[in-house]
């Protein structure tokens, strides 16, 4: 099963960390990502830029409205995603519980929606075939 792991971080708190400590934290995370890779569990991931650089789109009165910044008004912002392969949710929780990123902020783990993703894969294949 595929899982999407959403890693959150308090940007203000992270800015207070020295550059050396920040690099150490990132390397610990990357080292654990390598453990996941070696075990066949790391499917992919993306680090996200600051939430200050986000744009949120929403429909308002039949028009698309773009607003600077994140949608949520919280201290913890989405910092990145990790795509994980695990047997089940319990296994995903077990794997991500060991991730050093949990020290920086919470991880939300969600099963991928394989039903919808099958349709997406079909559409991808159809568009590639057209090209």
pLDDT at 76: 80
Give residue-wise pLDDT tens across range 38-95: 999 999 999 988 888 888 888 999 999 998 876 666 678 888 999 999 999 999 999 9
CATH number at residue 33: 3.30.70.1060
Instruction: Give domain status of residue 124, yes or no.
Output: yes
Residue 112 domain-assigned? yes
List the domain range (segments joined by +) for residue 99: 2-51+80-130
71 belongs to a structural domain: no
pTM, 2 dp: 0.83
Q: Give me the number of domains the chain comprises.
A: 1
- Per-residue pLDDT at 29 exceeds 80: yes
Confidence of residue 28 (pLDDT cuts 50, 70, 90): very high
> Tokens 């992919």 label which residue?
44
Helical spans, DSSP H, in 16-113: 19-38, 89-97
3-state secondary structure of 88: coil
Contact criterion met (CB below 8 Å) for 76 and 8? yes
Indicate whether 70 belongs to any domain: no
Let me know if residue 35 belongs to a domain: yes
In a domain, 10, yes or no: yes
């Amino acid at each position: 099963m595929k899982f999407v792991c959403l890693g959150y971080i308090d940007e203000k708190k992270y800015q207070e960390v020295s550059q050396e400590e920040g690099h150490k934290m990132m390397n610990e995370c990357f080292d654990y990502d390598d453990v996941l890779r070696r075990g066949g569990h790391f499917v992919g991931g993306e680090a996200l830029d600051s939430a200050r650089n986000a744009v949120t789109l929403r429909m308002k009165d039949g028009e698309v409205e773009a607003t600077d910044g994140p949608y949520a008004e919280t201290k913890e912002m989405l910092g990145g995603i990790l795509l994980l392969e695990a047997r089940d949710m319990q296994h995903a929780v077990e794997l991500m519980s060991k991730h050093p990123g949990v020290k920086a902020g919470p991880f939300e783990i969600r099963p991928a929606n394989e039903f919808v993703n099958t349709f997406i894969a079909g559409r991808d294949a159809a568009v590639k075939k057209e090209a």
